[in-house]
Structure 1
């Protein structure tokens, strides 16, 4: 699928303003964000298939990338994470919200491809300082550091919601409690999701292939 631009992307990237992307934005738009989705809706700025990555963006051009309830739908997850790493500036941030593997509602959605836990994004980090348990990070050549992570507890029922809000505060007090919960208690009091903030680590990494101005902005105008 060739991307379709409804904004002047080149002008936006060359402006002095912070460049913020939102991937798979759904039906809402927050001011100041460039929205990318495969479905054409009035508020979408770029129509593109994220399974194919972000090849229409140059290296090191984005300040922030946001995604909520998107990454679980991606088949080519490793490719998209590499592309997010590539286009983020060294000072950039990736903010994400994904379902936890104990979420009982996760399996109801047939479009879900994967679920996540505390260590999922540690596989992209050689600097694993937060948790006692360590995981391999040699599967790919992009690297992030997890600046923040928290577990989210929700319920559509009011009484249960209040109880889970209390549980959420306790569990997120310390990484040790989070690890203990996920190892021993997550199927007793299931978690809904996790939120994380990732920062790309680009020092001593291979320089991403430079994309020429002409190829960076290829696409059809609506």
Structure 2
């Protein structure tokens, strides 16, 4: 099938877009309101977008509590959502009023960060302490609810030592979860490796590739 993504005339019972860009990492974002209340919320439009220095981004449909807090305080933490914490992560997605501590609602433990003020989730094996860099507002069909992209620079990284084995992080052992379409999620339990081709490999492949035939 093909459909016009602007008209969104797919004819299906639910918009398939989120079921096509999968799996998506979950940014489990902890922040502080200017008055000091803790906020914790999951965002499925999340990813790493830089390596030197490291940057992460998450996108929100409108200026939700996380975005407002981060723009005001300039700090946040990305906590890894895992299989063992899936129910707690889901609880923190509830649309509660500002000032309600989702960490407490989900029975999670706030742990002090080293370089930023918002706490991290003590139960997660990975937390990224971030300094706010900028907000990018993307056009939306609903002007009252713009697509808001928040970018932060990673300034501190917490890793549970139990998952560092032979000098490498055993990501699969953490069982990170990812967002798929509809109400669906995925969990990483195994990985495979592939060596990236070198420039020499690329030249060799080009030499033996069939030449296009002139029409």
Normalised to the residue count of structure 2, the TM-score between the two structures is 0.30
* Greater fraction helix: 1
* Greater fraction strand: 2
